[in-house]
Structure 1
Amino acid sequence: MHKIRLATLIEDEEYQKRFVHCLMNYYRDQFEIAIFSGIDQWVENQDMSYDVLILADLDTDHEFIRTQSKRGHPVLYLADTENEQDKELLGNQNLNPVENEDGGICFVDKYQDVNEIVSEILKHVGEEIQEVQKTGVLPVKTKVTAVYALTENEYQLPFAITLASILGEKENVLLLDLQENSGFRQLTGNDAGMGLEELLVMAEADSFSNTRMRDCIGKMDKIDYVYPVSNTECLCEANASAYLKILQMLQQEMEYGAIILNLGSRFQGFFEVLNHCQDVYLMQRRGGLCQWREYEFMEELHRKGYEQLERRLHRMELPILTNAVASCERLVEQWKWNEFGDLIRRTISGASGVMQVGG
């Protein structure tokens, strides 16, 4: 991935520190940043190549600012509309992007969500920024399936991966892992940085770009997957609105026939997300407290008004997995072609009720 090269000259040291810190926290995979503390330092390095120049707090040097707009790079000026010098800048016709044949300077509100500033940066380097379609209803072209365990959730991830791999033989499939410490990062051996965290940031901003979204996705066997989070606390801090927006973004732009959600702890609006799934595979075990847990789950489902979801539930009693953990590709192949995979094939071919293998 080509990183966008930013150069920042913001004379408010505290603001520059916080601004760069936000970019490095949430967008380190998208940006490289050169930080300048003053005009003299900038001039010494002005022959270096940047994709976007970001200026702020240059109170009176309009000539310097105007000169930068002629150097062939997009220039964003972070303006404080309450500041008298910035008001003067905004009223200066020589800097107006409409009047200036060289393109002028794009003035951006300095004190706004950093995601909005990032959207402006991406616009000026050719990224197409799109808004999340706030229809309240997910598009129907992609089937969304949830996998969730009331007990024995060690088998939940193998089920989700094997289900995705089997479906991936006939269509494009995406796996989205929302289960805390599921082992998926170790299984894929991939620590790619921003993945699900980046999608959550875009969902919060109600806007996304196709390129940034694709950079959040890796490939394994016959399926795609969103790079899992490194800080699992953010999984339950997000709510149904954020996860539904992510599904809308993916279905709006990507050509997936199916999205598999491997669910973990219940976040706010958990049942609302379940209700948007065409199928829900509920992992269960016989004996002990399992039947009581399922009873309480169904009771809560009805109490929240999602009783119609019961028709889409597939109760799964899984065989014990005894495969030694090998490479990801080898392990998935073992799961697919033993009794575990046979169970899943029978289930997705139209079987219902509790499915089990063996005694």
Structure 2
Amino acid sequence: MMGNILAIFDQSEIYSMRLSEYLREHLKLAFEIQTFSVEEEFNSFLESEEVSLLVASSLAIQDSEDLIRKRCGSVMILEEEDFKGPSRWDQEDGFFHMSKFLPAGKVLEKILEVCMERPERFPDLGIKHEGNVCKVIGLYTPLSGSGQTTLAVQMGEQLSKNGKAILISFESFSALTKSFDSEALQDISDMMYYADCERDKFCIYLEKIKVRKYGLDYIAPAKTAMQIKEMGADKVRDLIALLAEEAGYEYVILDLKDYPDGFFEILNMCDVLYTINRNNSADQYRMGKYNRVLCENGYEDVLSKTIKCLFPDEKGGASYKRYVRELIEKGQGVLGLGA
């Protein structure tokens, strides 16, 4: 008995194989993907296995409709002709349709929509991963204008070469969306909601709203400091646990600017914390106050896993990337980070 099966059925072997290859590479949900171009083989498979989601061309399934209704939880019909809608399948529960001739990326988007709409039909559908240990990397400094977000992005891109990495920013009115070429309609506040209230949709929703650039995944930050404050340490801890255990992230990078409730506790969640410093008296004074406040509140452990760094004048190019790699190597000395 297989898990959640996604079956592709089209009479064109080339089409079905190309769509299968695309989904195997880009659809990160843990479907067992089965591909068919011969009706007899498809029907034989259905007689022995239940299919969570069938993606099939309208012509391919004409003679298998009754079996499909019995054995398939949800069905995406790829209409062969220039589809305008409506479809003869519209009135049936669990049946969806779109044009066969749209790009494969649109098919993937529709699959995510179907999973979001009827998550109960995809029990225990997580994200494909190998169960590796997750490291939480924090970046925080009490100094303004330090280049912390630039460092967080560069560090995330470097770490993504070693394993699956995601960047979460706690900065209101952040320019990160511009850096990732994406003005997101949903943000980290929405992810917190799904983590708290609808965990069965968490992985599906994550796949829908995250953005990837240079191998690094990213969730848009909350828009205001008020939203960030309301998140709280417990919600952040739950989110990190889901990202690690359900989504399989090996690195969660926290770019900490504004202050969620329980901020020091969030700092303490980090396996290693990078703090940017500057060599002038005013900034040294601020850094000293920050260190004293940590100690006065019982968070000496945060200081013990802190790596202090000076931000170089150059914020790009080969020398900067080399500097970021050196910082990651220092993190390895703390907890085997990036190994």
TMscore range, shorter length: 0.5 to 0.7
Q: Which residue of 2 aligns with 1:309?
A: 302
TM-aligned CA deviation for residue 250 of structure 1: 0.8
Alignment of 1:1-359 (within 5 A): 73=93, 122-124=118-120, 126-128=121-123, 141-205=133-197, 207-209=199-201, 210-321=203-314, 335=316, 337-350=317-330
Residue 288 of structure 2: SS of its match in structure 1?
Answer: helix
Amino acid at match of 1:289: A
8 A contact 1:195–1:215 mirrored in 2: no
8 A contact 2:135–2:271 mirrored in 1: yes
TM-aligned CA deviation for residue 254 of structure 1: 1.3
- Judged with a 3 Å threshold, the aligned counterparts in structure 2 of structure 1 residues 168 and 121 are, in CA distance, closer, same or farther, namely closer
Q: Which residue of 2 aligns with 1:96?
A: none
Deviation per residue, 1:107-136 (Å, 9 max, x gap): xxxxxxxxxxxx997444x244799xxxxx
Residue 292 of structure 2: SS of its match in structure 1?
Answer: helix
Residue 252 of structure 2: SS of its match in structure 1?
Answer: strand
TM-score (norm 2): 0.58
TM-aligned CA deviation for residue 230 of structure 1: 3.7
8 A contact 1:122–1:129 mirrored in 2: no
Residue 330 of structure 2: SS of its match in structure 1?
Answer: coil
- Judged with a 3 Å threshold, the aligned counterparts in structure 2 of structure 1 residues 311 and 193 are, in CA distance, closer, same or farther, namely same
- Judged with a 3 Å threshold, the aligned counterparts in structure 2 of structure 1 residues 128 and 192 are, in CA distance, closer, same or farther, namely farther
Distance 1:312 1:177 in 2: 20
Amino acid at match of 2:284: Q
TM-aligned CA deviation for residue 215 of structure 1: 1.5
TM-aligned CA deviation for residue 321 of structure 1: 3.6
Distance 1:351 1:146 in 2: 11
Residue 240 of structure 1: SS of its match in structure 2?
Answer: helix
Provide structure 1 residue ranges, at least 5 long, that are not aligned to the other structure: 1-50, 52-70, 75-118, 132-138, 323-334, 354-359
Distance 1:295 1:121 in 2: 52
Task: State which structure, 1 or 2, has the greater radius of gyration over its C-alpha atoms.
Answer: 1
Distance 1:222 1:121 in 2: 28
The count of corresponding residues between Structure 1 and Structure 2 is: 219
Deviation per residue, 1:221-270 (Å, 9 max, x gap): 12111133344531122211111111111112112211111111222111
What percent of counterpart residues are identical?
Answer: 18
Residue 319 of structure 1: SS of its match in structure 2?
Answer: coil
Q: Which residue of 2 aligns with 1:135?
A: none
- The alignment yields a C-alpha RMSD, in angstroms, of 2.9
Deviation per residue, 1:258-294 (Å, 9 max, x gap): 1111111222111111111111001121113212211
- Judged with a 3 Å threshold, the aligned counterparts in structure 2 of structure 1 residues 121 and 223 are, in CA distance, closer, same or farther, namely closer
- Judged with a 3 Å threshold, the aligned counterparts in structure 2 of structure 1 residues 161 and 295 are, in CA distance, closer, same or farther, namely same
8 A contact 2:165–2:251 mirrored in 1: yes
8 A contact 1:314–1:352 mirrored in 2: no
Amino acid at match of 1:295: G
Task: Considering fraction of residues, name the structure with more helix.
Answer: 2
8 A contact 1:152–1:284 mirrored in 2: no
